[in-house]
Structure 1
Amino acid sequence: MKPKLLYSLFFIILLGCWTSTECFAIGTDTVKAHKPKRVVKHISPHVSYLRESIKGYKPWFDNCTFTNQYTVAQRLKKYPFSKAVKILAVSFNGGAPPNPEIIIDRPKPQDTMSYREQQLYKGFTIINDSLDYSTLYEVKTLNQDQIIRLTNIMYNAVYKKILANTADPGSSCYNPRNAFVFLNKKGRVIDYLEICFECEEYRSKYGRLTIGDNCTQKFGMIKKCFIDAGIKHGTIDLSWK
């Protein structure tokens, strides 16, 4: 081929490349060069920092944490677990405070009430260390696994961090509907842990029994113990509200 013709052909090819970007992809990874950019999804900080968005989040993890401070054996040696032969989870009418020895005077039930309704009207009743079962809506006996779980919540669930000014503000209401009742071998009441999930307050027979550190989610964990034991009134059934 003549040099003059060769130069003309080269000039035509060069002119075509000048009007197209395809020639400049020669020697490069053309697939990579044309790959669309990955769009980064920006999440609002108001959403990304929500506790619920964390994988594995549980509501009771907010300020409660479990420790290994007490073993199962150590927990079961604590009062009143060490003395109880049987532990009941119960529900009842939340109309009046309990009294371990006497029934406090209450308005007389209407004449239209049946005997059963009159008994339930009394609420949680213990007389001379004897539990009046006729005043209870539901009664479930805790098995060993449920007892161990309860002790773990009471004694090993603590604050992640103790903050200043964490005093209990108290509550204007107290209408308990659930309780754990601790019985000895004669069926007598050693103690009870009565709980109002509505206002998150509790009481026991002599004030010796507490739920330990009252981290925010502890009542929710204890309520779950009642639910899993089969207690609905005061936990799932909220028709009384």
Structure 2
Amino acid sequence: MKNILFLFFAFCSCFHSGQKKKNPKDLLDDFSNDRFYKDFKPITFNNRIKKFPFNKTSKIKLISYNLDFKKEPIYTPQLIDDSIAIKNDENRKLPVELSDILANKNLEKAQQQKNLTLMEIQELSDIIFNECAKYRMGLFSKAGCYFPRNAILFYDENDKIFAYFEICFQCGGFTSDPKNLFEDDFDCDDIYSKLEVFFNKVGMQTQYKEK
């Protein structure tokens, strides 16, 4: 019995030692290939524009704001008898909320605005509906505090904003109206990097830059 066990383990040892070991690059390639659906078929542009909110949109606009802030400032109350500090506090620049920007039709509190062309809408919709859908498993993580600097605005035929999608590229988070807009489409990390590249390509700043 001992001899049989010895031969069995010896055979297993020889079998494993005879296997070709994969280098780290091959293992990474195997992992990357396993992430994708082999039979994935992207949604065509013709079908993408039939989905909400694209099916009700007459214009799509990108905006940037809070570009002068590295992060959300922390408010420190000033002493009552320190008049100079109080005056400086009253004059300090504060970050804006998206709701404050949307309160004005001309979006005057936004630092950048960009109306998308049809070709740009095609690229944007492709990222939204096809990027995460091609992955078998989505790798998703969030980091840092939510301090958004960008948003996608959807206008109806009366030039009214009926939906928006606010994005924080720094932390990988979003808010939207309607609340569940694109919720099922943003379930992988890759979509944020692809979308940020798109924003930058059309001339929109997405991060704080030292002056």
TM-score interval, normalised by the smaller of the two chains = 0.5 to 0.7
AA matched with 1:173: C
Change (3 A) 1:136 1:182: same
C-alpha distance in structure 1 between counterparts of 2:165 and 2:36, whole Å: 21
> TM-score scaled to structure 2, two decimals?
0.64
C-alpha distance in structure 2 between counterparts of 1:62 and 1:225, whole Å: 26
Structure 1, gaps ≥5 residues long: 1-43, 52-58, 97-107
Q: Is the 8 Å Cα contact of residues 91 and 179 (structure 1) preserved in structure 2?
A: yes
Q: Tell me the SS of whatever aligns to 1:135.
A: coil
Query: 2:56 pairs with 83, 90, 104, which one?
Result: 83
Q: Is the 8 Å Cα contact of residues 159 and 215 (structure 1) preserved in structure 2?
A: no
Instruction: Give the aligned partner of residue 6 of structure 2.
Output: none
C-alpha distance in structure 2 between counterparts of 1:160 and 1:194, whole Å: 24
C-alpha distance in structure 2 between counterparts of 1:80 and 1:231, whole Å: 22
Listed as ranges, the matches of 1:139-150 within 5 Å are 139-150=113-124
What's the offset of the Cα at 1:109?
8.6
Instruction: Give the aligned partner of residue 156 of structure 1.
Output: 130
Cα deviations across residues 148-181 of structure 1 (Å, max 9, x unaligned)? 1111111122243237xx6x66555111111111
Listed as ranges, the matches of 1:171-186 within 5 Å are 171=143, 173-186=145-158
Listed as ranges, the matches of 1:14-93 within 5 Å are 45-46=23-24, 63=35, 67-93=40-66
> TM-score scaled to structure 1, two decimals?
0.57
Q: Which is richer in helix?
A: 2
C-alpha distance in structure 2 between counterparts of 1:172 and 1:224, whole Å: 20
Q: Tell me the SS of whatever aligns to 1:125.
A: helix
Instruction: Give the aligned partner of residue 160 of structure 2.
Output: 188
Query: 2:110 pairs with 125, 128, 136, which one?
Result: 136
What's the offset of the Cα at 1:79?
0.8
Percent of aligned pairs with the same amino acid: 23
AA matched with 1:133: L
C-alpha distance in structure 1 between counterparts of 2:115 and 2:175, whole Å: 20
Instruction: Give the aligned partner of residue 171 of structure 2.
Output: 199
C-alpha distance in structure 2 between counterparts of 1:191 and 1:129, whole Å: 14
Change (3 A) 1:87 1:196: same
AA matched with 1:138: Q
Q: Is the 8 Å Cα contact of residues 124 and 135 (structure 1) preserved in structure 2?
A: no
Instruction: Give the aligned partner of residue 97 of structure 2.
Output: 123
Q: Tell me the SS of whatever aligns to 2:62.
A: strand
Listed as ranges, the matches of 1:96-107 within 5 Å are none
Instruction: Give the aligned partner of residue 231 of structure 1.
Output: 204
For these two proteins, the number of residue pairs brought into alignment is 169
Structure 2, gaps ≥5 residues long: 1-21, 74-86
AA matched with 2:191: K
Change (3 A) 1:109 1:222: farther
Q: Which has the higher contact order (CA 8 A, sep 6+)?
A: 2
AA matched with 2:171: C
Q: CA RMSD in A?
A: 3.6
Change (3 A) 1:169 1:128: closer
What's the offset of the Cα at 1:201?
0.7
